[in-house]
Structure 1
Amino acid sequence: MELHNASASMNVAVGSYSDPVDLPGLAHFCEHMLFLGTEKYPAEDSYKRFLRENGGYGNAYTVMEDTNYYFWVAAGAFPEALDRFAQFFISPLFTQSATEREINAVDSEHHMNLQSDLQRAFRLHGSFASHDHPFSKFGPGNKTSLWDNPREKRISVRDELLRFYKNNYSSNLMSLVLVAPERLDSLEKLVRSNFADIENKSIPPRSEQYEGIPIFDARSMLVHIVPVKETRELLMRWVLPPFDYRFKTDQFIAHLIGHKGKGSLLSLLIARHWANELLVRTSVNLDHLSLFDVSIELSQEGENHYLEIVQLVYGYLNLIKTHGVNRNLWEECKIMAEVAFDYREKEDRTALGARLAETMRKYPAEHYLCGPLLHFEFDEDILVETLESLNASPLYVFLTSKRGEEECDSVEEWYGTSYSAKNLEEEQVEEWRRSSWDESLSIPRPNEFIPADLSVLEAPKPGTKSPELLRDDESYRIHHLMDSQFRLPKTNLMVIIESPCVYSSPRMFVLSSLFISMLNDSLKESTYDSRIAGLRHVITHATGGILLMFEGFSDRLEKLVSLVVERFALFKPDMGRFEVMRESLKEQYDNFYKEQPYQLAMYTLGYLLEHPRWHIDAYKQEISQISFPELEESIVRMRSELFVEMLAHGNIDAEGVDGMVSVFEQKLKFRPIRRAERLRQVISELQVSPEGSLYRTTASNPDESNSAVLVYFEFGPISPRNFHAACVAGVLAQMIREPCSNQLRTVEQLGYMVHSSMTKYNNVIGLQFIVQSPSSSPQTVNDRIEAFLRTFEESVLEPMPPEQFKKYVEGLRTFKSEKDGQLSILTGRIWTEILNDTFVYDRKQEEEKALEQVTHENVVDLFRRCLSRKAGERRKLSVHVHGNQHPVEGEPETTATLIADLDLFKSKLHLHPRIVSEDHIRAS
């Protein structure tokens, strides 16, 4: 992978498990504080501003036993970025003022997760742990745990921060990874010169402090959790010894239990209409123990039978003990792991660095890269011993469901989750352990999708970077690009099956959603082996049709395509699954309004701008009225008149593409639609107005404490090859991002979620600001965004020195100049051009060249025209989602035009013309 950027990651083997008892969340808070100034670089925004000026980004995360810091930046700025980064671990300031302010950011982050069922369940699981075990700790922390409670106990939080850092941040607990376009000896010099001053305090691994402490009570337990959303889950959990990575014992057992092919546990549960999905994994693997989970997504009917499902799981475990300790099955997993590793795509440099920095403390040097992925040794004794442990260990059952919530009279301390808990009778658990397996269950059969031919076709002529149009008629348009860059035995196939009726009305969209859901459901069993063998397919909606995506090893791809297309062409829905899938889709619609407020704001913006676009409220009205015969009839209609557009990209030649097209032609019979009938989306044109338009709504979840503000500024439409205008907007967005985050998040502490970015709806570009706040009203946040824009214009943008402006341009150029790191990323870029009818396949290269012509005056002019309050072309649209701390009351203090009816407002807007390119015609 050719690198123009460089990245670094430092992992510290200290996480929330090391929090003091009186200060839950201190490790996480310490992570936040390291970004806010060091002795060498004291300005709070110095580090992030430097990264942003040089086309980079940095962040961090804290988990149970680790804290990981990472960044990426233009390669030319890497030495200085590394120096700034190293100071985190040498001389952070932990100023009193930053300490008092950043507590609010941690608290905002906590508030953002308060209504997350995933976070609530994880915390509740921890509440059942022994108080002597760190799994019981409240790792994220909030203002109560990190400020209010300590102050009541006369604890100085800053003093404790300094003590925590001093007692835990030691070079012997740190792992550093650099990914950069430099020689190894040069990188070593950089490390020695920048990190040598980190003190080695010879601190023993923190896991030694809690080794041997039981995590849970030794008695089996049943816990009923009341969720926020309409969801039902059965989680079975066992505490087991830690797994040795060489044997992959847990992964092999998870593979058997979690298999979804014929004879699998999931197939049985689906046949009984009890479940929709199954996930088996080791959720926690610590130095001294692991948590092994079987998680089942229940249907409403399955909720009535959850204890029988527990029995079926134990029965399947007994089947594995009897027939599943099979070296041939393990060897199959080993082979596929090796093939996946040997032919994996290049990993994103930042993700690679962060992953390696964390795994370095867990694996020997020769296995840093492959240790988490490969199967090294088969040990039948360890496998049998693990299966016996599963059978003998206490069982912890967590049932997540709203049914019976009135009986859940206990409340978790930090998230307010309602629950009930009781011990399971040992006689009941023993009965489950002795369960025989259902006669329909079996061990997985040999996998017919494992690739046999991993050869790579002869590369096309050098310089072939644009797809060739192989066919363009009334039924098919076929694009082909043979890979010359990645040279992997893999192919990506993108297909849109355009059908005018799919999105012709809200009711038809719901019917097509049911069709897609049931089609995917019916393919689970027959395509699961292909997924294990490194193939993947996706069936989903696209504008005006249904999107099929295939990727994986070229040798078996046509076999998968044939299977999926045949099922698409011949699929007939099952009445029993219809009821289950309609119930599931209805719950998805109901749960939509329990998403984060900022997500609701983004959805509303998209709804107002895009035509055609139906609203989810219309889907909710239709879903309950749809009948099974209507679905049957609509599926026939959806497949009757079509147009197929395809992109084949990768290790495939024109003959191979012909084979793929033949599969469609043989199995899919349809009448071609006229091109004039093909659905294309267009974008609303906002009216010029200094204050713009404002839509206010209340979060439907009464327990939602966060409010969200989205402010969108439309810049206008650009032609497909107007690279200069796109680059001017990109540079402006790059310049605004870090000052916006620093001012609104770090200084003013409006909320944890503060985001600004360039937007592109089809050919219409713009800029959006998103802030989610638990403490400030939406109107206050809106006013602070406007104040920021005024200050930015006067104090940052207009007086910006030429050398600083040049850094922003060069940072964006560096990003544009870097080659796509993965085949799938390049496929996605090409496919987007095809779907948008723009066909500018060299867009990144053209924009890189266009950046040479972007001037400071261009950017100032764009700001003055479209963002300044006095701008003559200011088109602003705001969406305010009010949480329970700031209800919608009376008229807001604004002169913005209030939107009372979304549909009425939308109907009065003009539409931007859709601008397409004729490049594909010239290319053909």
Structure 2
Amino acid sequence: MTKGCKATSEVSGGGGAVEAQSESGVEGGSVPPLPEAAITPPTCHLLQAPIKSPFDKKEYRVIQLGNGLRALLISDLSKKLSSEDDEGLMHFLEHMVFMGSEKYPKENAFDYYIKKHGGRDNAHTDMEHTTFYFEVQERFLNEALDRFAQFFIQPLMKVETMTREREAVHSEFQMAVPEDSYRTQQLFATLAADGHPMGKFTWGNESTLNVGIPDEELHKKLHELRLRYYSAHYMTLAVQARLSLDTLQEYVTSIFSLIPNNGLSCPSYKHLEPPFPVEKFHRLYRIIPMKEYHSVEINWALPSYLKHYKTKPLHYISHLLGHEGKGSILSYLKKKVWAVGLYSGNDGSGFEHNTTYAVMSISVELTDEGFKNLDQVLLVVFQYLYMIQQTGPVERIFREIQQTEKLNFDYAEEETAIENVENLSEGMRMFEPEDYLTGDSLLFEYDPEIIKNCMQQLVPENCNIMISSKSYEGQDVCCMTEDWFGTKYSVEDIPQEWVKEWSKPPENPHLFIPSPNKFIPDNFDLLKVEEGATEYPRVLQKDEWGEVLYKQDQKFKLPRTYCYIYFLSDLLLQSPRAAALLDLYLNLFQQHLMEDIYPANMAQYHYTINATERGLVFKINGFSQKLPQMLELLLHHMDTFEEHLDEKSFQEIRQQQMKSYHNAIIKPENMKKNVRLSIVQFVHWTPYEKLKAIVDVTSKDLLEDFVYKLYPTCHIRMLVQGNTSASQALDMYNLVKTRKVKYEMQVVPPFPEMRTMKLLQGCWIARLKAVNPADTNTSVINYYQGKEGTLMTEVLHEFIQMVMDEPVFDFLRTHEQLGYHVYCTNRNTYGILGISITVNTQANKFGVQHVDERIEAFLKEFLNTVRNLSSEELSSLKDTLTSMKQTVDLTLREEVDRNWGEITDGEYLFDRLQRQIELIKDITRDSVAECLESLVSSKTNKEYRKLTVQVVGASNPEDGTPPALEGLLGEDNVVKFLGPCDKSAVKDYPAEQFITDIASFKEKLEPYPVTKIV
């Protein structure tokens, strides 16, 4: 029994506070008058503690405050050191409560406090709730909680702040406009019944928050909305820290009891009809996407299954429909070369699953051939559906899913504290206290009737079909326009002959339910720590072919192992064709691999295969027992790659790869990145260069010009870390080396190191026209290049970024309102340090000259701020940076990834953090100011080197059409450089400072020497 609380089994009937719900349907329709909000004295009741994993060392306590707020307290001492909602108004309210409170009136005061003390914060609004979350150093937690609680106690929400923050909401919406997932989701919302909240436009933009509504009225609506929905008894709160439960309880009780309770019943949608009437929903939609692809999506609108979380019928069904192993829908479609990917199920978001309905979707990414045979693809889907409906629920499959989810829960690696409290606070709305930790993860009860009931609703007669294809463009097919995102689409009845055939389809012998999973482990023993075990990875073997490093885990004590393999080759530096062939090889390799590897994925074994500028990286991890078998499987598919390669698959996958390049090219953010790297790196191949290079390649080219050359000439770097022995690590290394023998392995010369180009002194401008004329988003990065890095300059740069992080946001976003995404970044380009500031804005809002000028104005002000740091401020900031570096690795993966970064960079400084902590002591105000001045001050620094890359979006996006793949292939170069603009109110740079050809500009540059920061 804890002081100040009395035990009770009573469970509050309401939702939450790190998560504050914004449910907008009130039973009975109209909103009753708001009563005077009551503030209750700081008391609490103790609720039932949640069930936890046997390996979870954290302690938990659930309390309910006198005002109705429920809180989950997490002590981690084991670690060492809506209907009345105007369109988008709840989203706007989420933004506004950050802008100061009666107790802490300065705008962005909370954000400043959190970042000053090494933390971060964010918020997001879903269909039925809003979630606010943050993390901060523990010694500042109490005051941070008090500042946080003021969002809900007495936020200011001033009119003048509202008019500025409205611009941020609109900018956020504009950034979403080119994204196909958001465009399709909003079109889906139009299928809702008139007046139903599911049909609302929840983003908010300048039209819904400005046009036709006076600021005074909007301001009044915001305050009414806050008083109605930000009430304590609707809120849930989760707090995690390395503090005792009693201390956390004292913090929460004293602070959060001050949140008012408005006394109104919790909002409900129970009085509403189902959101999607069949006559409106059961149609076929054709959509023109922004990106280059074909897909077909089959949707069903089902009743909500939130209350059935102990059985999770949607999880069971999506496991079968989304399976990628033998007998699955995708496996069959891949063999026919009709599809490259399939997603099935429900993503768990508020849009796809809430108290009014749940969506079940099957989305198939089609090849060109699959699009031509769309009717057959759909038939295969319904054949599988009919087969599992006739079979009915299979207990073996349910128990297998149950077993793997239990293993993942019991032996889970820690989430970060901020991710943990975010997820838990949202789950607290739906689960009983004892299930707060398990409710979202585990399957508790096998209930075949619930599963069967859900399955039987997935019939052709009530499905919705959405077909997306760039090929509809110019065909006079999609002549309708969605109101908010401008999506072009058409709607028609689903052909009755299709529905008739799907209702009782012919049997397909190639489709069957999954076989028992042989990858599920049954041995979770931890190995004894070997004699001579080291704190850092050590080299087990180094030979002419490569090296393997090894570290046995002594800290996390989980039966998991990580194995990372880097195949380095200078082949990829020789031409964009070689780099494109690597992308194509990996795409084909993973297509061939998936059927066999998928059962391992389901048993919590994971892998990634990625292309880098210097080679390819295989990463595998999972339970230690069967990880060598997974490695064997990957290597076997490397051996047999040529046997699986057929010309038809090759042509279709090559086309998919070309579309992937196209989709990267049309995004301003990607163009900005690729142009900058093309200038500052000795070698960097852009998506456009790779697109042009891959057009005519054949399967023979792939084998002879790439595969046969890569493995014999590559150099291996390998790390094995976790619950494994040195001999097992050596065995895995030898398995990898054996594969090189197949390709007549050669002695590999030392790998040529990557180098960075030294920019000319002064400021250089690469101004480009965005590729997509239907996208108004503009992206600007100002990059300030420094010198060869040392450990001390590395620490100084990190200190500068930490101090700059909040002021750059406050200056350029909050006050200047330049755009939604504003941030600063440390840059380490192969040992050459620098710093950058990025602003994403809209072309019809601000010109790039203005953005650049305001960035420079900020830097001038920030430099003065640094010069005037007091001794106390400097000491506090140094303590913050030290604390951030002293934070222990939370998971084995985190430690492995940090070690792997040292290996891939070739620096091997595994004690980097400890060395940096010592150097932080030497930081002075003058050393910080001198470092910053040497980067960003053109007046006092003769070595000033600035590159600004400005990708200019479309001023009139509504008149533009996204370019098709064929259109890009017809261009000599998609990089269209722009010169100075005389029409801007801000004076532009001289013409001679503009880059008009990257190759010509780089001829004037010299590379820095190879640099390692050690």
With the length of structure 1 as denominator, give the TM-score of the two structures.
0.95
From the superposition, tell whether residues 653 and 513 of structure 1 become closer, same or farther in structure 2 (CA, over 3 Å): same
Equivalent residue for 1:537? 607
Quick check: 1:891 aligned with 2:986? no
Q: Is the 8 A contact 1:132 1:213 kept in 2?
A: no
From the superposition, tell whether residues 119 and 648 of structure 1 become closer, same or farther in structure 2 (CA, over 3 Å): same
Equivalent residue for 1:255? 319
**Among residues 302, 307, 310, which one is paired with 1:240 in the alignment?**
302
TM-superposed deviation, 1:463: 7.9
CA offsets 1:649-670 (integer angstroms, 9 cap, x no match): 1111111112212322444414
Equivalent residue for 1:644? 716
Equivalent residue for 1:94? 157
Quick check: 1:342 aligned with 2:410? yes
Equivalent residue for 2:966? none
Equivalent residue for 1:404? 472
CA offsets 1:600-655 (integer angstroms, 9 cap, x no match): 21222122222222232221211111122212323222233232221001111111
Quick check: 1:289 aligned with 2:357? yes
Alignment of 1:124-273 (within 5 A): 124-151=187-214, 156-208=217-269, 211-218=272-279, 220-243=282-305, 244-273=308-337
Equivalent residue for 2:756? 683
C-alpha distance in 1, partners of 2:769/2:216? 39
Q: Is the 8 A contact 2:122 2:134 kept in 1?
A: yes
TM-superposed deviation, 1:502: 3.6
TM-superposed deviation, 1:9: 7.1
**Among residues 639, 642, 649, which one is paired with 1:577 in the alignment?**
649
TM-superposed deviation, 1:760: 1.4
CA offsets 1:137-169 (integer angstroms, 9 cap, x no match): 011110101111324xx9711011011111111
Aligned length: 902
Quick check: 1:504 aligned with 2:574? yes
Equivalent residue for 1:847? 916
C-alpha distance in 1, partners of 2:1009/2:832? 10
Equivalent residue for 1:445? 515
**Among residues 672, 677, 682, which one is paired with 1:601 in the alignment?**
672
TM-superposed deviation, 1:675: 5.2
TM-superposed deviation, 1:836: 1.0
Quick check: 1:71 aligned with 2:134? yes
CA offsets 1:512-563 (integer angstroms, 9 cap, x no match): 2211111111001010001001111122213332211111111111001011
Q: Which range moves more in the overlay, 491-500 or 518-527?
A: 491-500
C-alpha distance in 2, partners of 1:504/1:334? 50
C-alpha distance in 2, partners of 1:22/1:196? 27
Structure 2 SS opposite 1:150: coil
C-alpha distance in 2, partners of 1:107/1:56? 27
Quick check: 1:909 aligned with 2:999? no
Q: Is the 8 A contact 1:744 1:750 kept in 2?
A: yes
From the superposition, tell whether residues 530 and 777 of structure 1 become closer, same or farther in structure 2 (CA, over 3 Å): same
CA offsets 1:717-763 (integer angstroms, 9 cap, x no match): 124xx2x2211111111111111110110111111111112121221
TM-superposed deviation, 1:225: 1.0
Structure 2 residue identity aligned to 1:616: P
C-alpha distance in 2, partners of 1:209/1:782? 52
TM-superposed deviation, 1:20: 5.3
Equivalent residue for 1:11? 19
Structure 1 SS opposite 2:921: helix
Q: Is the 8 A contact 1:460 1:483 kept in 2?
A: no
Structure 2 residue identity aligned to 1:643: H
Q: Is the 8 A contact 1:133 1:210 kept in 2?
A: no
From the superposition, tell whether residues 59 and 643 of structure 1 become closer, same or farther in structure 2 (CA, over 3 Å): same
**Among residues 384, 405, 414, which one is paired with 2:484 in the alignment?**
414
Quick check: 1:827 aligned with 2:888? no
Alignment of 1:481-630 (within 5 A): 481-572=551-642, 573-595=645-667, 597-630=668-701
Equivalent residue for 2:735? 663
Where do 4+ consecutive residues of structure 1 move more than 6 Å? Answer: 886-889
TM-superposed deviation, 1:193: 1.2
From the superposition, tell whether residues 908 and 148 of structure 1 become closer, same or farther in structure 2 (CA, over 3 Å): same
Quick check: 1:698 aligned with 2:778? no
C-alpha distance in 2, partners of 1:828/1:890? 43
Q: Which range moves more in the overlay, 178-187 or 666-675?
A: 666-675
Equivalent residue for 1:714? 785
Equivalent residue for 1:741? 809
Structure 2 SS opposite 1:465: coil
Equivalent residue for 2:43? none
TM-superposed deviation, 1:841: 0.5
C-alpha distance in 2, partners of 1:810/1:659? 45
Structure 2 residue identity aligned to 1:232: H
C-alpha distance in 1, partners of 2:948/2:187? 37
From the superposition, tell whether residues 908 and 51 of structure 1 become closer, same or farther in structure 2 (CA, over 3 Å): same
C-alpha distance in 1, partners of 2:558/2:978? 60
With the length of structure 2 as denominator, give the TM-score of the two structures.
0.86
Q: Is the 8 A contact 1:130 1:217 kept in 2?
A: no
C-alpha distance in 1, partners of 2:848/2:531? 57
The unaligned stretches of length 5 or more in structure 2 are: 1-15, 27-81, 957-975, 982-987
TM-superposed deviation, 1:870: 1.4
CA offsets 1:688-737 (integer angstroms, 9 cap, x no match): 22xx1110100010011121110011122124xx2x22111111111111
Structure 1 residue identity aligned to 2:734: S
C-alpha distance in 2, partners of 1:815/1:324? 53
From the superposition, tell whether residues 788 and 666 of structure 1 become closer, same or farther in structure 2 (CA, over 3 Å): closer
C-alpha distance in 2, partners of 1:493/1:77? 38
CA offsets 1:756-790 (integer angstroms, 9 cap, x no match): 12121221111100001111111110000011111
C-alpha distance in 1, partners of 2:184/2:24? 17
Q: Is the 8 A contact 2:766 2:977 kept in 1?
A: no
Q: Is the 8 A contact 1:52 1:808 kept in 2?
A: no
CA offsets 1:98-134 (integer angstroms, 9 cap, x no match): 0111110001111111111111111111112112221
From the superposition, tell whether residues 799 and 15 of structure 1 become closer, same or farther in structure 2 (CA, over 3 Å): farther
The unaligned stretches of length 5 or more in structure 1 are: 1-7, 920-924
TM-superposed deviation, 1:215: 2.6
After superposition, the CA RMSD in angstroms is 2.0
From the superposition, tell whether residues 607 and 21 of structure 1 become closer, same or farther in structure 2 (CA, over 3 Å): farther
CA offsets 1:470-497 (integer angstroms, 9 cap, x no match): 1111013110011111111111101012
